Structure 1
Amino acid sequence: MEKTKPGTDTPPTAHAEEAVATALATDPEALARSYGPSGLRGLLQSGFVVRCAIFAAMGGFLFGYDQGVISITLTMDHFVETFPRIDGKTDPSAGFWKGLMTAMLQLGALLGAAQAGYLADKLSRKYAMFVGFLWFLVGSAIQTGSIRYAMLVVGRTIGGIGIGTLSMTAPLYISEISPPNVRGALLVLEEWSIVFGIVVAFYITYGTRFIAGEWSWRLPFLLQIVPALVLIAFIQRLPFTPRWLAAQGRDKEEALETLVRLRRLPETDERVIAEWIEVRAEAAVQKEVQAERHPNLVNNSSLSASVKLELASWIDNFRKKSYKRTMVGMGLMLFQQLVGINAMIYYGPSFFESLGLDYEMQLNMSGVMNILQLVGVTPAILLMDRVGRRPLLIWGSASMVACHVIVAAIIGTYTGRWEDHKGAAWCGVAFIFVYMVAFGLTWGPVAWAMPSELFSSTLRAKGVSLSTCSNWFNNFIIGLITPPLVQHSAYGAFVFFAVFSFLSGVWTWFVVPETTGRTLEDMDEIWGDDLGRQDKERTTSVVLKLERELAVTRGTVIPEKP
């Protein structure tokens, strides 16, 4: 039987347990190892968190669905009859109007992503997702009932605001509830859900195109409302994230109770204590740094001061010590779009038409193409941590350059003579398929996963938001320019994507660092600053302070540490 110290009910081993928890709280790698294996085995041991993550990742599914639904819809006769502006036979500017209608989803998503960080901080991560689902619901209803081109554009813009909100808040929610050993794998789930949504939407529209009348295109828009309603109905069951609770000052009881619920471990477990201390320390450091950078705004409760503080927090990512990290995060999303992936998703049938395929085969090959992207994304869950982010990006760029160049050469050589060169056409199709697998394995998941690893803790939220906004802005540009580009020269479109695929590889080689297994100090050395070291020193200091507070609460005497 252990003896307790005089005047306390806590055994001497409490000090040792808290010391272990403190060591884990200041060493993220050790904390991740303490939770067990990563990958599939780690996911099987985290059932409740996985279920919550799947629910949150449904935001990605809705985004993918709304992307995929437009591909076949644009080719439906009843859809073109309802919106004659996109009919190239009657309107010479149809390419522009088709691109604008498609791209307004991305413009709305840019607006949604820009305000999502504020909502996530003020309302909580899960209620910010709730707002995103509401925007999406309204936008989907307007798209379903559209009778004019302008109404359809408004519906896609409003739905896009919801998609953009979800694209920012869902990964944030997943990262904050996940055990550190499976956080990377669960974040890839978001990209997988996007691609899965694209595949589901494609095959739903593939089937509804046989419906006689306008429900051939209205029904796919209506069906996307169903998962949104389910998510709205059940979102209350999701737990708040411990980090948000800590940031709101609800860190002493609610944050700990939430961690116990998420980890399915007792509150005395050293790993739970370590995470609890770590999230409380990060929240305290965030407030400390903000007060240091903007003392006049933090202590002012007026509305104008709150607005100025929000703007100043965004500007912090472009200051001398942090702009390099921001540029890399935004650059990853820039190149992810300019290598042509969403052009393929939105306008797949048009690209296959340029290879001489008939209408039915255009649709069939577009479906296979989307499935192959899903095939590529799936093993990325395991490869990102084993192979590393940077090698995947470089090999992905090289593969995509080769594919685009070969397809461009085939189209440039045999256009107008496909009946005599069907083998060349199918060779082009094959290399489009290779491109989809290569992208799904590399630039698809890596560009979404890396931004959160580039920034120090005090800049991470806004840094990831800026990277996401970059994705949506460039996605908007691609959606806008691709139809007229393909309409005038499919060969030129593939050359355009080949050039940017090549530039993405060169840029990665010279600019993008490897983040796998890197500590904060390692990242400081790469960027030539000391933001990570400063954050770690502040965090360590706060962790030790919290450890002493915890010891006093539990009746354990812990000596001051130098």
Structure 2
Amino acid sequence: MVTDMKKDIQPHVLSEGFSTSEHHETVAIKPDIELQEIPAYGPDGVRGLISSGYVLGAAFLASLGGFSFGYDQGVISIINVMEQFHAVFPQAETAFGKGLMTGMLLLGAFVGCLFMPYLADRISRKWALTVVVVIFDIGAIIQTCAQSYATLVAGRAIGGIGVGTLAMISPPNLRGTLLVLESISIVSGVVISYWITFGTRLIESEVSFRLPFGLQMVCATILGVGIHFFPYSPRWLALVNRQQDCLASVSKLRGLPDTDERVQAEFQGIITEVKFQELIQEKRHPGTHGIKRQLLAWRDLFGRKGWRRTVVGCGVAFFQQFIGINAFIYYAPTLFQSIGQSDEMSLILSGVFNVLQLVTVLVCFLIIDKIGRRPLAIFGGFATGVAYIIIAILSGLYGKDWSAHTAAGWACVAMAFLFILIFGLTYSPLGWALPSEVFPNATRSKGVALSTSTNWLSNFIVGVATPPMMENLGYRTYIFFAVWCVMAGIWALIFVPETSGKTLEEIDDVFGDTSGHEEQEVMRTAALATMRPPVQTTV
């Protein structure tokens, strides 16, 4: 991911590998630090977040990335049905034009997530994030000032390169309170931007849609500027072997002296991770270097030991989108109109729909660890399919004359609300939780990156295809999504294991390989290697 901001908020556990560099610098490490978890810095949960100004500030800045992505989702939902917008961009009123305009941002996000992690490793997470914010703001300015449809679409593609990365700045091993914060920030962006645009639509001039487009820049710019008040990521500093700076960064983030046992332990863990990644890749691909080793590391995701994990990680990302959540978010007013609601009521119901999503995101984290991932994946697939089937049946029977069958129309609304409640409790969190849990340490960063790119590409396909489907297939569109929901349930039955509360070794047993056991041994070797008395060298 582009920045390790949220990862740096948490006390570090030896868990995730990074590549190495030719930059040389060493710092003394306490020899009595063992391969174990770091002693607690303080209370867990929300109290832990507010225990340090740096921690709270970093958590706030990181949440702005998710908010920026959610903001665009909420804005485009109403802009898609604005008369003032269509007067300037008549091409966007057609089914294909509407889908292309919406989807280009997602295609840009797909492109961005492919090359931005490389940039982050080259120039640091901090400066890569700054570049991303600049790209995002350029896209937002083009959208705000566009006078032609082609310019608008180009602006959305450019903005997508930034927004896709901003939304994914959380680390692959994000857990607990910070995962709640990430999801809440995305959905909060949807809700807040929707109601802002709900208000600006009453402005008769072009300001009605240009103002919401322009406001996209506020949170992203705060993030881009605010990140420079924080030290470089300790993990990036370790990546380039700036060990003294790495220790100082950990000390500053924790608000503790660099001699503190917890700071020393976390620092040792970070240095060990760098060595671990070097050793594990050398063990798996001896004699290879550079691009060839990177390509072989990607191939590991599809090898005998890794393919089942990849099916789960990418599968949940794929089904999260093909269940049709963003078809509702992007085109909710149009969908509610298709089940007999007036233009004004469709806008209000769309806003309520988004609020319900926020409520379920808040609730889901109270149950996800208690119920488990596998039951939620199975139930979420089949249950959302039932909601779609009921909407399809009622629309097929009464869709030609909703005015004479208002009760059926409201029943469809109830099913739409049931859909978002079920989705918010199941595939909404699972789409981000499962990929970070199923991949072993050595392939986690690439596995999560592949899952993320799958999510963006699937999102793009759904965003482009939904308007033409609604225009040409009518109620059969709901059958289309129902089929994918049922397939998600079947996929979960066959492939999705229970990962909640399991160790790496226990997850190994579920997938029938020994990756976790192998990595534990390599991690111990890495820890011993980094604990040896350092030899001072010049930079």
TM-score, normalised with respect to structure 1? 0.85
Once the two structures are aligned, what percentage of the paired residues are identical? 46
Deviation at 1:540, TM superposition (A): 1.4
Matches of 1:174 and 1:47 in 2, distance apart? 23
Q: Are 1:62 and 2:68 an aligned pair?
A: yes
Match of 2:160 in 1: 160
Judge conservation of contact 1:110–1:469 (CA < 8 Å) in 2: yes
Pair 1:482-2:482 in alignment: no
Residue 215 of structure 2 is aligned to residue 223 of structure 1: yes
Q: How does 1:168-179 map to 2 (within 5 A)?
A: 168=168, 170-172=169-171, 175=174
CA contact (8 A) 1:520 1:536 kept: no
8 Å contact kept, 2:35–2:524? no
Larger Rg: 1
**Mapped partners of 1:166, 1:467: distance in 2:** 16
Post-superposition shift, 1:538?
0.8
Give, as a single letter, the amino acid of the residue that structure 1 aligns with 2:198.
Y
Q: Deviations over 1:295-344 (max 9, x none)?
A: 5552xxxxxxx444443433332222222212211111000001010000
How far the C-alpha of 1:263 sits from its partner, in A, is: 2.9
**What is the distance in 1 between the residues matched to 2:280 and 2:478?**
47
Quick check: 2:320–2:427 contact (8 Å CA) kept in 1?
A: yes
Structure 1 residues 240, 453: closer, same or farther in 2, change over 3 A?
A: farther
User: Aligned to 1:321, what secondary structure does the other structure show?
Assistant: coil
Q: CA offset at residue 386 of structure 1?
A: 3.1
Instruction: Please point out which of 429, 432, 451 is paired with 2:413.
Output: 429
Identify the residue that residue 118 of structure 1 maps to in structure 2: 118
Aligned to 2:196: 204
- Give yes or no for contact 2:382–2:488 (8 Å, CA) kept in 1: no
Q: Distance in 2 between matches of 1:518 and 1:247?
A: 29
Over 3 Å counting, the alpha-carbon distance change for 1:130 and 1:214 in structure 2 is: same
CA contact (8 A) 2:312 2:434 kept: no
Q: Does 1:320 align with 2:304?
A: yes
Task: Map 1:184-199; keep pairs closer than 5 Å.
Answer: 184-199=176-191
Aligned twin of 1:457: 441
Distance in 1 (alpha carbons) for counterparts of 2:129 and 2:502: 31
> How far off is 1:500 after superposition?
1.2
Count of matched residue positions in the alignment of Structure 1 and Structure 2: 507
- State the shift of 1:149 in Å: 1.2
Q: Which amino acid aligns with 1:22?
A: E
Q: Which moved more, 1:313-322 or 1:202-211?
A: 313-322
1:274 Cα deviation after fit: 2.7
**Partner in structure 1 of residue 16 of structure 2:** none
Q: CA deviation at 1:294?
A: 4.5
Q: Secondary structure at the match of 1:205?
A: helix
Which structure 2 residue ranges, 5 or more long, are not aligned?
Answer: 1-29
Structure 1 counterpart of 2:64, one-letter code: M
Change in 2 beyond 3 A, CA 1:18/1:402: farther
Correspondence for 1:284 among 268, 271, 275: 275
Spell out the pairing of 1:113-512 with structure 2 (5 A cutoff): 113-168=113-168, 170-172=169-171, 175=174, 183-251=175-243, 253-298=244-289, 306-512=290-496
Deviation (angstroms), 1:483: 0.3
The structural deviation recorded for 1:220 is: 0.8
Cα distance in 1 between the residues matched to 2:472 and 2:456: 25
Structure 1: segments with no counterpart, 5+ residues: 1-16, 26-30, 88-93, 176-182, 299-305, 554-562
- For residues 330 and 282 of structure 2, what CA distance do their matches in structure 1 show? 46
Distance (whole Å) between structure 2 residues aligned to residue 195 and residue 273 of structure 1: 37
1:203/1:380 Cα in 2 relative to 1: closer, same or farther (>3 Å)?
same
What SS class does the counterpart of residue 339 from structure 2 fall into? coil
2:404 alignment partner AA: D
Pair 1:398–1:50, CA change in 2 (3 A): farther
Deviations 1:25-60 (A, max 9, x none): 4xxxxx48x456544444444653243022022111
- Quickly say closer, same or farther: Cα 1:48–1:127, change in 2 above 3 A: same
Contact 1:185 1:382 in 2 (8 A): no
With 235-244 and 208-217 compared, the bigger mean Cα shift is at 235-244
Distance in 2 between the 1:18 and 1:264 partners?
23
Between the aligned partners of 1:174 and 1:57, the Cα distance in structure 2 is 16
Structure-1 separation of matches of 2:265 and 2:422 = 39
Taking the aligned partners of 2:54 and 2:480, their CA distance within structure 1 comes to 45
**Bigger mean CA offset, 381-390 vs 336-345:** 381-390
> How much is the aligned-residue C-alpha RMSD, in angstroms?
2.3
Paired residue secondary structure (2:36): helix
Q: Is the 8 A contact 2:275 2:530 kept in 1?
A: no
Secondary structure of the corresponding residue to residue 34 of structure 2: helix
| Corresponding position of 1:8 | none
> How big is the shift at 1:165?
2.2
CA distance in 1, matches of 2:366, 2:252: 27
Cα distance in 1 for partners of 2:311, 2:112 equals 21
- One-letter amino acid matched to 1:361: M
* Distance in structure 2 (CA, Å) of the matches to 1:41 and 1:502: 41
Q: Which amino acid aligns with 1:513?
A: P
- CA positional deviation for 1:108: 0.6
Q: 1:173 to 1:539 in 2, by over 3 A?
A: closer
Q: Is contact 2:279-2:526 (8 Å) kept? A: no
User: Tell me, what secondary structure is at the counterpart of 2:475?
Assistant: helix
Contact 2:172 2:436 in 1 (8 A): no
Question: Does structure 2 conserve the Cα–Cα contact (< 8 Å) formed by 1:18 and 1:270?
Answer: no
Q: 1:47 to 1:394 in 2, by over 3 A?
A: farther
CA–CA distance in structure 2, aligned partners of residues 119 and 318 of structure 1: 25
Please give the alpha-carbon distance, in whole angstroms, between the structure 2 residues aligned to 1:232 and 1:43: 21
Please give the TM-score of this superposition, normalised by the length of structure 2.
0.88
CA distance in 1 between counterparts of 2:44 and 2:376 reads 19
Out of 34, 47, 50, the residue aligned to residue 22 of structure 1 is 34
